Amino acid sequence: MKKIAESVLAAVKKDQAAIRNSMCMKSGDVEIYPASVHKLGDAAVMMGRDSEKRFLLVVADSAKALPAGFAGDQIALADGGVALVGALDAANAAALRKHFPWCAPKSLRNVKTTVGCGDRLGLATPGHLAAAVKFQVSPVIAQQSMRELSMTKRTFRSVVDDAVFGVFRSDYQLGFGADGDHLKTIPDIDVAHEAGMPKITLDLSEVMNAAAGDWEQSKVDAAFAEMPAEFRKRIEGDYFDKEFVTGSCSVKIDAGTARRCAVMYTAALEFAVKVYNHLRSKRGDEFDLEISIDETTSPTLPSHHLYIVRELRRSGVEFSSLAPRFIGEFQKAIDYIGDLAEFDRQFKVHAQIAKTYGNYKVSVHSGSDKFAVYPTVGRETGGYLHLKTAGTSWLVAVTVIAQHDPALYRKMHKKALASFNDMLKLYHITADITRIADVDTLPDSELVKLMDMPEARQLLHITYGPILTSELREEFFKAMHKLEKEYDAAVEKHFDKHLSLLGVPKR
């Protein structure tokens, strides 16, 4: 460490490029990430790693020249110089955001193509960014739901901080987002915003009357009749037996459908207005609001989509994206299940509605690994979309473990099997895990092939929480530290495939 710090000190008065070119990047088991070296006054700030951990290194020509805010242990260098070695903790993440503003997440509400990079480990950012920098896309690097936080024992603050360190390490200065995903209450939204997340995905599943989608029409009509007379009169005038032209498509809403939409969505839309006004009071216009109506058992019909957005616009709600529940199955970890021709037909209408009513982004949830529908999604939206991924970078980690540490993979696989039934209470999948071979009967070389098997992918996908909070946690993260370069390359390759099939242009 000291040898590296002394080499930085010798060059610290030079410009940033000269420091990177002249300093020692490796000494023993200590290695500096070259792209992370940044000049800051008469100091240089960078990230590095040794055999056990990653760290922040600050080198200055005097203690007085150390930039404010960084915390860690100090090492005396020649000629009065000083090095500070700090942990990747909240204090140092805050210092990076202060001194390098591009390390802070920002609103992406006016960006054409965005992709949510759910990272359950806090390790995937360099790989995500290595892919993103090649395409005309803005990544939402920090993205987690309350469910994911509870399963991994993380916080919104730690998720954002992990993203900050990954962005700094990669010298990614093009801007990135952070998303409090599938939030349902204002207190949870406030926690996410206080942690620096400018995007909120508002999940309306618990305030909408989704069950009314399956009611007999007579029951719907009776419930509608109990709503205020003035409201009923407006809905009748605005929607009953009307046809709405949306680009090259049209959407018809008959009286029964209008009544059903009113019964299903009115309370949810009123809550969305409340949340929007709350966000504006907190952040002005510096936030992204995504409306999520995808957490239901029934697909969002185009007529329902149109009703929802017209009502939101009428109430003055500005949202950057909306996530319908598309036809077919968007199950975790595997490709699309369903009639592709019908998906194409309906998705085109959803995209035309979005273009007509404010040109917001169509958001595709559970979007990772849905390679069959990506060409349609990219084409019909003209690239004006948000793709939300989550567990796929975790599965890339599992794959890397299977390739390089088969003994650990076997332990993880068995933990997954023991936890599977409990996790089915939280995730909807249809995998028949009895089709998966007993891992004790497979040679080491065959284990990685399990990650090409839909049933095994889904098994490992939904059991990340029990694995990451078990006795395997320390062994897993030690292995991931050792396999960092392999993981970075695998994540990059996987996301290259996502963005290429979506048709995102190269930079």
Active site residues: 181, 290
Question: What is 495-507 written as a DSSP string?
Answer: HHHHHHHTTPPB-
Q: Which two tokens stand for residue 326?
A: 């598309």
Contacts 24+ apart (CB under 8 A), 333-338: 333/368, 333/369, 333/391, 333/392, 333/395, 333/429, 333/454, 333/457, 333/458, 333/460, 333/461, 333/462, 334/369, 334/454, 334/457, 334/458, 335/369, 335/370, 335/371, 335/372, 336/370, 336/371, 336/372, 336/373
Give me Rg for the CA atoms of the chain: 25
Exposure of 116 in the CB half-sphere (CA atoms within 13 A): 32
For residue 105, what is the DSSP state?
-
For residue 67, what is the DSSP state?
P
Contact between residue 318 and residue 276 where contact means Cβ atoms under 8 Å apart: yes
Q: Report the DSSP pairing between strands 138-145 and 113-117.
A: parallel
SS3 assignment, position 239: helix
